[in-house]
Amino acid sequence: MLLFLLKRLVTFALTLAVASVVVFAVLEVLPGSAAEVILGDTATPESVAALQARLGLDRPPLQRYLDWTGGLLQGQTARSVSYDTPTAELIAERMHVTLPLALIAMTITMGLALTMGLYAAARHNRAGDVGVMAASQIGIAIPNFWFAILLILVFAVHLQWVSAGGFPGWTEDDGGGLWAGLQALILPAVALALVQAAILARVTRSAVLEVMREDFVRTARAKGLSRRQALWRHVLRNAMIPVLTVTGLQFANLLTGTIVVENVFVLPGLGRLVFQAIGNRDLVVVRDVVMLLAASVVLVNFVVDVLYALVDPRVRLA
């Protein structure tokens, strides 16, 4: 196990390192320097050179790369060009919205997917099963941002239960509060959860069906457990392994979905931050946010790999 963990850890670190090189190369080395991007088409060569000097872009790329990654490892980030604040502060502030949104969405996803998947498996090939499967096909095909717009149409425009977007803040000082904040995140979270839940419900259903065919389930039933008891005690636990794996793999979807849906609801999260940064030509922010997002995808997959090996010894021995 230790050797497996060590191998995985090395791969994880290497992947992060390569990711940082790619992000750096795309944003800072490819033709079209940051200073040119910031100043636009009308810039004179002198003003570009002056800005490059101010941003420290006149130094050799290798040194800039080492400064950037070295800073990241020590928790030091460069200042945003448009906000004049270290990007870490900007990102931390926006995480107050993005992280709760992703977590609520994940919770709804799991709740919905497990219920639907189990229900469909229990009613295998009957009307309930066919209905859930058809609904999930449609759920997979619906773009999350369109579903978000439809939710706004129904609940904000038509019923007028909630506002059509925006975020009041978590504290009363900001003019919001815990309840107001949660209310603002519910519709975005539902919009995000639908597609994820549709995929995961299918995985849950097929995993449960597969385990139900196993001999140990027949043994459990033979020793007198009811269908329901066997399902809860033996099937569910074993079926969770593929479900967790797919949940991990879906994390990247959840992340990009969050970026899109934040923009639909005008929520001040990471997604808004990075889009405003593109508009402001604030490449420092774009670089650090993209790196953070890519790193979190890599991290989640690393954690899933390790969890998977903990649950299933065959993985680490292979």
Partner 1 sequence: MRAWRHPSFVIGGALTLLLCAAALLSLFWQPYPPAEIDIPNKLQGPSLAHWLGTDSLGRDIASQLLVGAQNSILVGVVAVGIGLFIGVALGALAAARRGWVEELVMRASDFTFAFPALLTAIMLTAIYGPGLFLSIVAIGIFNIPVFARITRGAANAVWTRDFVTAARAAGKGPLAITWDHVLPNIANQLIVQATVSFATAILAEAALSYLGLGTQPPQPSWGRMLNEAQTLMFQAPLLAVYPGAAIMLSVLGLNLMGDGLRDLMDPKLTRVR
Residues that bind partner 1 (CB under 8 A): 11, 15, 18-19, 22-23, 26-27, 30, 32, 37, 125, 137-138, 140-146, 149-150, 152-153, 157-158, 164, 206, 209-210, 252-253, 255-256, 259-260, 263-264, 274-275, 277-278, 281, 283, 286, 290, 293-295, 297-298, 301
Nearer to partner 1, 31 or 175 (CB): 31
Rounded Cα–Cα distance for residues 317 and 255 (Å): 32
Q: Least CB distance from residue 170 to partner 1, whole Å? A: 26
For partner 1, the closer CB: 119 or 275: 275
Q: Which is nearer to partner 1, 74 or 125 (CB)?
A: 125
60: phi then psi, degrees, rounded to nearest 5: -65, 145
Phi-psi region of 266 (alpha: psi -120 to 50; beta: other; left: phi over 0): left
Q: How far is the CB of 273 from partner 1 (least distance, A)?
A: 11
Cα distance between residue 224 and residue 268, in whole Å:
55
- In the complex, the smallest distance separating the C-beta of residue 64 from partner 1, rounded to whole angstroms, is 16
Are 292 and 91 in contact by the 8 Å Cβ rule? The answer is yes
CB of 143 to partner 1, least distance (A): 5
- Provide CB contacts within 8 A for 188, sequence distance 6+: 101, 105, 148, 261, 262, 264, 265, 267
Burial class (CB in 10 A: 0-12, 13-18, 19+), 147: buried
CB of 146 vs partner 1, minimal distance in Å? 3
Is the Cβ of residue 20 or residue 109 nearer to partner 1 in the bound state? 20
Q: Quick one: 63 or 137, whose CB is closer to partner 1?
A: 137
Own/partner pairs, 139-142, CB within 8 angstroms, 24+ separation: 139/194, 139/195, 139/197, 139/198, 140/195, 140/198, 140/199, 142/194, 142/195
User: Rounded to the nearest whole angstrom, what is the least distance from the CB of residue 311 to partner 1 in the complex?
Assistant: 21
CA angle centred on 244, ends 150 and 149, rounded to 5°? 5
Total number of residues shown for the chain: 318
- Our CB check for partner 1 shows the closer of 5 and 142 to be 142
